[in-house]
Amino acid sequence: MTTPRVHIATDHAGMELSAHLVSHLSSKGYEVVDHGPKVYDAQDDYPSFCINAAAAVVADQEAGVDALGIVLGGSGNGEQIAANKVKGVRAALAWNLSTAKLAREHNDANVVAVGGRQHTVEEATELIEAFLQEPFSKDERHIRRIGKIATYETSGEVVE
C-alpha cells in the first residue's frame, strides 16, 4: 500500500487532534502538510484553513500526486462544507468506521471531516486511518454517480 500525501487543516476545536495526527501519520510514513492554524485562537475563521487544504488536495491530484485531505473541527460539519466548496473535492463527514470506509470505497471521497469534540483522540485516529487506507472500489455504478456529481459541479447540468 502506498501512503498518500495528506493535507490537514482544523479550527481551534481540533488543534490538539490535528497536532496528534500530524505526528502520528508522519511516524507511519505519510507526508503531512499542515494548513493551520499555527496558533490557538478561539475566534479563528476555519474556512480559509479548510479551503486551502482542500485546494491543495485537488492541485496534487491534478498533478498526478496521490493525495487526500483531513479537515477537523468541533463537529466537522462546517469544515466539510467549506472543503466541499472547492471544485473537485468530495469531502465526507465520518462519524464511525463504516462511514469512513464507505466514503472512500463508494464515493472516492478525497477529504475526510471529523469532529474533534465528537470522538476521543484514539477513535478519531482510527476513523482517519480507515479513511486513508480504504481504496475506491472503482465499481461502475459509483463511477457513474460520481461523474453525475462532477457534471453538475462543472456545468450546472443535472444528469438523470
Name 93's bridge partners: 113
The total of other beta-carbon atoms located within 10 Å of residue 6's CB is 25
Is 116 part of any known ligand binding site?
Answer: no
Is 12 part of any known ligand binding site?
Answer: yes
Is 29 part of any known ligand binding site?
Answer: no
Distance CA 114, CA 147 (A): 25
The total of other beta-carbon atoms located within 10 Å of residue 156's CB is 7
Could you confirm whether 79 is annotated as catalytic? yes
Torsion sign over Cα 116, 120, 121, 122? negative
Could you confirm whether 24 is annotated as catalytic? no
Find the distance separating the first CA and the last CA of the chain, reported in whole Å.
36
Longest distance between any two alpha carbons in the chain, whole Å: 46
Is 78 part of any known ligand binding site?
Answer: yes
Is 142 part of any known ligand binding site?
Answer: no
Is 11 part of any known ligand binding site?
Answer: yes
16, 24, 31, 106: the active-site residue: 106
Is 110 part of any known ligand binding site?
Answer: no
Is 88 part of any known ligand binding site?
Answer: no
Q: Hey, which residues are catalytic here?
A: 79, 106
Binding-site annotation, residues for D-ribulose 5-phosphate: 11-12, 74-78, 107, 117, 141, 145
